């Protein structure tokens, strides 16, 4: 019997594809360096629903090295081939969308209806990025007399994605899709609060025979794993979604290491303007949805303003 088979405590939410509790490095599920686990709790009931392995900085380094080794072969593949892998991953999500919806609902404590809205976007996002792989091209210019100016788009190499807890799988594909489509490999760190759909996605990577090391997934805590990713000298690009405080730490670590490129999403809060001539019958439900959707845990949460 595999000792790493995960047993979710709520039988109604059992997922046939979620059979692991380990890290996903170089195409394989592996235990963490020091073998410690942490609990995943349903915030609605405060019940422990699973326990998964906790990565440390050594695990991060192993994952980065796997991505580094995988990069040359992945970047050398045709755009069409990379596109096909992303399409296959999208199809896996579509086939298991109801189970994924329930899984994220209990992991995050959101309603099933809210989870359905978010999960309904995941496969379409992957397909979008897959198609963008076919559009990547450089530019040429004859604006300078006697010169032909050429720009060539090239992948970074190893990228990292640090993802928050409030929309894990959607955020995952928003980082995986662009990275893989453009020829990069990636190391992903889930939030310690919602790692289960990441493990499910890792199983999909195995099922579609994604080349080893192209996607690596670690579960752990920001002070250990996130810091190690931000400081790592072999990571050339890091994409982070989360708080301003953590962003500052990532910017500092990135600057003090190898000046890696950093992309940040720190919240998109903006005002919802309700004018005197507005229909309150339409404005109030729209405002309530914006504020209360996902229990208010959403970066586009709006502030109501009456100008």
d(CA 188, CA 198): 9
Give the number of other CB atoms < 10 A from CB of residue 248.
Answer: 11
| Matching residue, tokens 């059979």 | 19
Which stretches of the chain are assigned E, i.e. beta strand? 23-25, 28-30, 37-42, 47-53, 139-141, 149-151, 158-162, 185-190, 215-219, 237-241, 261-265, 271-273, 303-305
Annotated active-site positions, please? Answer: 265
Q: Is 292 helix (H, G, I), strand (E, B) or coil?
A: helix
d(CA 13, CA 47): 14
Phi, psi dihedral angles at 135 (to 5 degrees): -100, -5
In the sheet that 23-25 helps form, which strands lie side by side, from edge to edge? 28-30, 23-25, 215-219, 185-190, 158-162, 237-241, 261-265
Residue 192: name the closest of 50, 64, 8 by CA.
50
Contact 63/25 with Cβ under 8 angstroms? Answer: yes
Encoded tokens for 152: 């060539």
Helix axis angle for 112-132 and 79-95, nearest 10°, is: 160
């Amino acid at each position: 019997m595999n000792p790493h088979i995960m047993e979710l405590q709520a039988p109604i939410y059992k997922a046939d594809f979620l059979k692991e509790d380990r890290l996903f490095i170089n195409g394989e599920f592996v235990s963490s360096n020091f073998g410690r686990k942490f609990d995943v709790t349903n915030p609605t009931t405060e019940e422990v629903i699973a326990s998964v392995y906790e990565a440390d900085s050594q695990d991060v380094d192993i994952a980065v090295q796997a991505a580094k080794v995988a990069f040359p072969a992945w970047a050398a593949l045709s755009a069409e081939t990379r596109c096909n892998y992303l399409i296959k991953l999208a199809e896996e999500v579509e086939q298991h969308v109801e189970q994924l919806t329930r899984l994220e609902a209990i992991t995050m404590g959101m309603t099933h209806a809210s989870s359905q809205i978010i999960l309904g976007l995941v496969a379409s996002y992957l397909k979008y990025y897959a198609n963008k792989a076919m559009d990547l091209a450089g530019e040429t210019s004859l604006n300078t007399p006697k010169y032909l100016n050429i720009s060539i788009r090239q992948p970074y190499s190893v990228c990292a994605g640090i993802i928050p807890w409030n929309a894990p799988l959607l955020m995952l594909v928003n980082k995986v899709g662009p990275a893989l489509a453009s020829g990069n490999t990636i190391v992903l760190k889930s939030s310690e609060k919602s790692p289960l759909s990441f493990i499910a996605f890792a199983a999909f990577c195995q099922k579609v025979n994604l080349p080893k090391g192209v996607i690596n997934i670690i579960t752990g805590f920001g002070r250990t794993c996130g810091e190690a990713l931000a400081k790592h000298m072999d990571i050339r690009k890091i994409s982070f979604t989360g708080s301003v405080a953590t962003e500052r730490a990532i910017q500092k670590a990135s600057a003090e290491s190898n000046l890696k490129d950093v992309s940040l999403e720190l919240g998109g809060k903006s005002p919802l303007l309700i004018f005197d001539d507005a229909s309150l019958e339409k404005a109030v439900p729209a405002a309530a949805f914006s504020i209360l959707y996902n229990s208010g845990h959403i970066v586009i949460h709006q502030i109501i303003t009456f100008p």
